């Protein structure tokens, strides 16, 4: 089997509002083969940038577009193709958007292989540790504490056993930060787990102070309180926080994840399969975290393609339990795939169909395609 074409499809809602939560545009990647099998992947990046990285013509032996690195090759040779993309873009890559763009192609390769052999991707990754995960509803904080409390009440009533609030108003003031977390806990009641995503808003001293102040609300973890480059800050925070510290979603590099664990001493390692270069690299990071006895969690804030790939990823690790489940109402998040991944009794199930187990709704693709 040979790859014949890589199609990078830029989808974008007509207007991206100020709340821009990441679900309002995306890059879907289709990898076509001469066997008639097409794989689907997704890259979480600045979509126009990632598309250009995939489509770019050769400008230098080590400055190639990613499609150019894989067309004509066997989609089963995934590690070799990852290497070709990494080395073929090394002049301008190794980090950030190039690795994010690579994720879209790599995930599509696993989809092809799964469809070709008739197996779900988690089995190809050597997994099956769990088939169901506690889906935590993931949403931004409200603009006011009252709005946060109402959202919490609504999500708890929908049956979620865990809810994460993030970004938005966090960091405005000590009183406001505490009021929002208190409102979230009040809305959820004592029995639903609460996660807090600070969204990179504090310096180290403030983060240490907030971790202690938030303890009374019994959060499961405090996420991204610090800038991803602030490794020394993470180390100080982890040493003093009574609450688990989570991080990783800004990170694309395997070694950087190791530093976050070994120097930053984070407790919860968050891996986005559509940002770190795909499933094989996610698995490496996931096993690095397992060997360090940390909890590994997916980061997912895109479409059903990201959800499916993330489910196969977490199913292939022993140290997973939760699943980030974005509940934003964007049409791309809610309608791009025919599968809707329902949460039943607070849990989400891993797809069992061959490949990723997703089918795009092509009418939705055409409606929002801008490139
Ligand atoms: Mg986050």
Each residue of 158-175: pLDDT tens digit?
999 999 999 999 999 999
pLDDT tens for each residue of 105-159: 999 999 999 999 999 999 999 999 999 999 999 999 999 999 999 999 999 999 9
Tell me how far the alpha carbon of residue 200 lies from the centroid of ligand 1, in angstroms.
Answer: 9
How far, in Å, from the CA of 197 to the mean position of ligand 1? 5
Measured in Å, residue 113 CA sits from the centre of ligand 1 at 31
Task: Compute the distance from residue 215 Cα to the ligand 1 centre, in Å.
Answer: 19
- How much distance in Å is there from the Cα of 68 to the middle of ligand 1? 33
Percent of the chain with pLDDT over 70: 100
Round to whole Å and give the CA distance between 138 and 348.
14
CA of 299 to the centre of ligand 1 (A): 7
179's enclosing H/E stretch is helix 174-188
Its pTM stands at: 0.97
Q: Token pair for residue 192?
A: 């639903």
β-pairing verdict for 162-166 and 132-140:
parallel
**CB 303 within 8 Å of CB 28:** yes
Find the mean pLDDT for residues 59-82: 97
- On the question of pLDDT at 19 being above 80, the answer is no
Q: Give distance in angstroms: CA of 29 to centre of ligand 1.
A: 24
The tens digit of pLDDT for each residue in 208-223 reads 999 999 999 999 999 9
3-state helix/strand/coil string of 289-323: HHHCCCEEEECCCCCHHHHHHHHHHHHCCCCCCEE
Spatial distance between the Cα atoms of 174 and 183, rounded to a whole number of angstroms: 14
pLDDT of residue 367: 97
CA of 88 to the centre of ligand 1 (A): 31
Residue 10: per-residue pLDDT? 98
Task: Output the CA 249–ligand 1 centroid distance in Å.
Answer: 6
CA gap 304, 282 in Å, rounded: 18
Residue 338 pLDDT > 90: yes
Which token pair is 139? Answer: 């949403």
* CA proximity to 335, closest of 307, 301, 309, 360: 360
How many Å lie between the centroid of ligand 1 and the Cα of residue 272? Answer: 10
pLDDT tens column, 220-272:
999 999 999 999 999 999 999 999 999 999 999 999 999 999 999 999 999 99
Q: Which domains are delineated in the chain?
A: 3-119 (3.30.390.10), 124-360 (3.20.20.120)
Cα 165 to ligand 1 centroid, rounded to whole Å: 9
pLDDT of 22 reads 87
Task: Assign 17 a pLDDT band (cuts: 50, 70, 90).
Answer: confident
**For residue 241, what pLDDT is reported?**
98
Give, as residue ranges, everything with CB less than 5 Å from ion ligand 1.
197
Query: How remote is the CA of residue 103 from the centroid of ligand 1, in Å?
Result: 19
In this structure, are residues 277 and 306 in contact, taking their beta carbons and an 8 Å threshold? no
Distance between Cα 66 and ligand 1 center (Å):
28
3-state helix, strand, coil in the chain (%, to 5): 40, 20, 40
Cα 50 to Cα 198: distance, rounded to the nearest angstrom: 27
Average pLDDT, the chain: 97
**Are 311 and 122 spatial neighbours (Cβ–Cβ below 8 Å)?**
yes
Alpha carbon of 117 to ligand 1 centroid (Å): 35
What is the Å distance from ligand 1's center to 19 Cα? Answer: 15
- Three-class DSSP category at 135: strand
Distance 222 CA to ligand 1 centre (A): 10
> What tokens were used for 142?
């409200």
- Residues 181, 328, 22: CA angle, nearest 5 degrees: 95
Pair 29, 99: CB distance under 8 Å: no
Mean pLDDT, residues 34-48: 98
């Amino acid at each position: 089997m040979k790859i014949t074409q890589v199609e990078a499809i830029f989808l974008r809602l007509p207007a991206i509002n100020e709340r821009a939560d990441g679900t309002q545009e995306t890059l879907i990647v289709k990898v076509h083969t001469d066997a008639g099998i097409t794989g689907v992947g997704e890259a979480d990046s600045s979509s126009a940038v990632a598309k250009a990285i995939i489509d770019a013509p050769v400008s230098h032996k080590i400055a190639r577009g990613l499609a150019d690195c894989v067309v004509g090759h066997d989609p089963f040779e995934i590690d070799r193709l990852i290497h070709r993309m990494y080395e073929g873009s090394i002049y301008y890559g190794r980090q950030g958007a190039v690795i994010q763009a690579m994720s879209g192609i790599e995930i599509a390769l696993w989809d092809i292989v799964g469809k070709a052999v008739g197996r779900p991707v988690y089995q190809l990754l050597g997994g099956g540790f769990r088939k169901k995960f506690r889906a935590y509803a993931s949403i931004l904080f409200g603009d006011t504490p009252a709005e946060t409390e109402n959202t919490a009440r609504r999500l708890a009533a929908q049956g979620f056993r865990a809810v994460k609030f993030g970004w938005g108003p966090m960091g405005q003031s000590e009183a406001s930060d505490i009021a929002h977390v208190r409102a979230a806990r009040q809305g959820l009641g004592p029995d639903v787990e609460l996660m807090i995503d600070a969204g990179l808003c504090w310096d180290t001293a403030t983060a240490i102070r907030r971790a202690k102040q938030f303890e009374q609300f019994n959060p499961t973890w405090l996420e991204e309180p610090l800038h991803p480059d602030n490794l020394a800050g993470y180390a100080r925070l982890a040493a003093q926080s009574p609450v688990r510290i989570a991080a990783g979603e800004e990170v694309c590099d395997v070694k950087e994840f190791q530093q976050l664990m070994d120097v930053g001493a984070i407790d919860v390692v968050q891996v986005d399969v559509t940002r770190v270069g795909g499933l094989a690299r996610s698995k490496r990071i996931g096993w690095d975290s397992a060997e360090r006895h940390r909890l590994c969690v997916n980061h997912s804030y895109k479409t059903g393609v990201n959800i499916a790939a993330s489910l196969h990823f977490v199913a292939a690790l022993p140290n997973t339990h939760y699943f980030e489940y974005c509940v934003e109402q964007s049409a791309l998040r809610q309608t791009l795939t025919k599968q809707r991944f329902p949460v039943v009794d607070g849990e989400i199930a891993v797809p069992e169909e061959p490949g990723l187990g997703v089918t795009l709704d092509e009418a939705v693709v055409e409606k929002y395609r801008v490139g």
